[in-house]
Amino acid sequence: MSDELKLSTRQEGMLHYIYDSIEDESRPPTIREIGGALKISSTSVVNYNLNRLKDKGLLERDRTVSRGLRLTDLAYEFLGRAAATSDKATSAFAAQIQNLVRVPILGNIVAGEPIDITNDTFSTYDEDDTVELSSSMLPSRRDKLFALRVDGYSMIDDMITDGDIVILQQQEIAQDGDIIAAWVEGEGTTLKRFYSERELGVIRLQPRNPSMEPILVDPEDVKIQGKLVLTISQAS
pLDDT confidence band for 81 (50 / 70 / 90): confident
Residue 43 sits in the same domain as residue 141: no
Q: Which of 97, 124, 141 is the last residue of a domain?
A: 97
pLDDT of the residue at 122: 44
User: Over 50: is that where the pLDDT of 112 sits?
Assistant: no
Residue 10 sits in the same domain as residue 81: yes
Reply yes or no on whether 154 is catalytic: yes
Angstrom distance (rounded) from CA 75 to CA 53: 9
Beta strands 100-109 and 59-61 are: unpaired
The residue type of 68 is: G
Residue 109 sits in the same domain as residue 226: yes
**Choice among 140, 154, 211, 233 that is catalytic:** 154
Residue 93 sits in the same domain as residue 108: no
Residue 169 sits in the same domain as residue 117: yes
Give buried/exposed letters for 168-190 (b at 16+ CB in 10 A, else e): bbbeeebeeeebbbbbbeebebb
Q: Strand 215-217's sheet: what is its strand order?
A: 130-134, 100-109, 145-150, 165-170, 222-232, 179-184, 188-197, 202-206, 215-217
pLDDT of the residue at 115: 61
- Domain containing residue 21: CATH number: 1.10.10.10
Q: Which range scores top for mean pLDDT: 62-76, 111-125, 126-140, 164-178?
A: 164-178
- Domain hosting 22: range is 3-97
Residue 127 sits in the same domain as residue 223: yes
Structurally, the chain folds into a number of domains equal to 2
User: Over 70: is that where the pLDDT of 95 sits?
Assistant: no
Q: What are phi and psi of 150, to 5 degrees?
A: -85, 130
Mind listing the pLDDT tens digit for each residue in 3-47?
557 899 999 999 999 999 888 887 888 888 999 999 998 888 999
Q: Which of 70, 97, 124 is the last residue of a domain?
A: 97
Q: Which of 97, 125, 153 is the last residue of a domain?
A: 97
Residue 115 sits in the same domain as residue 221: yes
pLDDT of the residue at 117: 58
Residue 43 sits in the same domain as residue 147: no
- Domain containing residue 180: CATH number: 2.10.109.10
Residue 93 sits in the same domain as residue 122: no
Residue 161 sits in the same domain as residue 206: yes
**Choice among 21, 56, 66, 192 that is catalytic:** 192
Mind listing the pLDDT tens digit for each residue in 114-155?
565 554 444 444 555 778 787 778 777 767 899 999 988 999
Reply yes or no on whether 192 is catalytic: yes
Angstrom distance (rounded) from CA 225 to CA 213: 22
User: Over 50: is that where the pLDDT of 223 sits?
Assistant: yes
Residue 125 sits in the same domain as residue 77: no
Residue 44 sits in the same domain as residue 91: yes
